[in-house]
Amino acid sequence: MDFARLAELGKNGVLLLMADSTNVERPGYTMSERTVGDTFEEIFMNAKSRILVATFASNVHRVQQVINASVKFGRKVSICGRSMVNVVRVAMSLGYLNVPEGVIVDIDNIDKYPSENLVIITTGSQGEPMSALSRMAASEHKKVEIVPGDLVIISANPIPGNEKFVSKVINDLFKRGAEVIYETLAEIHVSGHASQEELKLIHSLVKPKFFLPVHGEYRHLKKHANLAHKLGMPMEKIFIMDIGKVLELTEDTAKINGNVASGKVLVDGLGVGDVGNIVLRDRKHLSQDGLIVVVITLEGESGNVVAGPDIISRGFVYVRESENLMEEVKEVTKSALIKCEEKKKNDWSSKKNIIKDTLRDYLYEKTKRKPMILPIIMEV
């Protein structure tokens, strides 16, 4: 850390400090990136097969360490994953990545090189379902096929909540015969987040008027707030925010003031953000319990049943194997129509509601399921 710069900012006066909370639970200091470079060199020196390294595309320094180890041990490097390709291209053009001529080869040409002379840097260290590494593990990647003997290094910690995805990818890689090295087996990742002692240093040097813990789950934000309080900041000057809340600041005050629209924006076909809660609820209902359509034809003036009721089932039961149930549903529908006549409910809306309610109760009693029921009444 640049302690001098932090101290200078603190001396000039800081209104609000917003600090990363991800590693607030970890005591001590975060290790240096240098340890990762040493571990890579040791692994590359002993490896006799193709190596695949999965890391965050944004971690340019880590990519540089992989390239350095590859150059040292005479391996070509191929970049895989759209975000990784973009970051490497931009980092090289701006001079942030130092790559000797001829080291990087196109992913389409990897078959031209012996596997023991090849390193593939890829995205997917968090087990994201559509990432390059996940598709390789599932044997769905167009360019890279995992073969027995491949060495896969996952150079990242699972972000809280992603553990299940990462475990699935590791298991799938082992099933394909690959050897997988992940953080619990070797020092192949150093967190990019400050631990407790470093956070204490930042608070002590910056000395802000107000504090807003950011980046982490609620438990991390709360523990970071407690850490700031223990260092002497009053709790009323610490703000734990929810997404969408507005923090209003002046030179001397800070207060939560209102909300802005936030959260997930759903994209559905050509529509963006136009899928409402009711539509989502209906889709969830359909996906879980299916649909029953009841079609009835009534005679216009008398209201007598001319045809039906016909029952159509989608995603609820297979009609041919549930003929008895379908017959019973027809009878229940007829009895619901008789009930409408007795109650003098002759408008379509009332009839539909009574059919729905009667069938819902009957089907739940029989199957313990609640399909969506759609009565259709036609008049002739």
User: Is the model's pLDDT at 183 over the cut of 80?
Assistant: no
pLDDT given for residue 140 in this prediction: 92
Residue 296 pLDDT: 84
Is residue 298 scored above 90 in pLDDT?
no
Which is the CATH superfamily of the domain at 34-181? Metallo-hydrolase/oxidoreductase (3.40.50.10710)
What is the overall mean pLDDT for the chain? Answer: 88
> Rounded mean pLDDT of 130-149?
92
pLDDT per position as a tens digit, 218-229: 999 999 999 999
- The string of pLDDT tens digits covering residues 246-286 is 999 999 999 999 899 888 888 887 777 777 778 888 888 88
Report whether pLDDT(186) > 70: no
- Residue 185 clears pLDDT 70, i.e. is over it: no
Pick the residue with more confidence: 324 or 199? 199
Residue 20 · residue 215 · CB < 8 Å: yes
Q: What is the pLDDT of residue 245?
A: 93
Q: What is the pLDDT of residue 303?
A: 65
Kindly indicate the confidence band of residue 160, based on its pLDDT and cuts at 50, 70 and 90: confident
pLDDT of residue 355: 83
The answer to whether the predicted template modeling score (pTM) of the entire model surpasses 0.85 is no
Provide the H-helix boundaries in the chain. 3-12, 34-46, 60-72, 82-94, 132-137, 163-175, 196-206, 218-230, 277-289, 323-342, 348-367
Catalytic site positions: 20, 193
DSSP element (H, E) containing 255? strand 254-259
Token pair recorded at residue 364: 């739940």
Q: Identify the band that residue 191 occupies on the pLDDT scale cut at 50, 70 and 90.
A: confident
- Check residues 355 and 147 and name the one with the higher pLDDT: 147
pLDDT at 209 > cutoff 90: yes
Q: Which CATH architecture has domain 271-379?
A: Roll (3.10)
Domain assignments of the chain as residue spans, ordered by start: 3-26+192-259, 34-181, 271-379
Distance CA 291, CA 277 (A): 19
- Equal fold, 34-181 vs 271-379: no
Q: Using 50, 70 and 90 to split pLDDT, how confident is the model at 36?
A: confident
Measure the N-to-C terminal CA separation of the chain; round to a whole number of Å: 82
Find, among 193, 172, 43, the residue nearest to 119 by Cα: 43
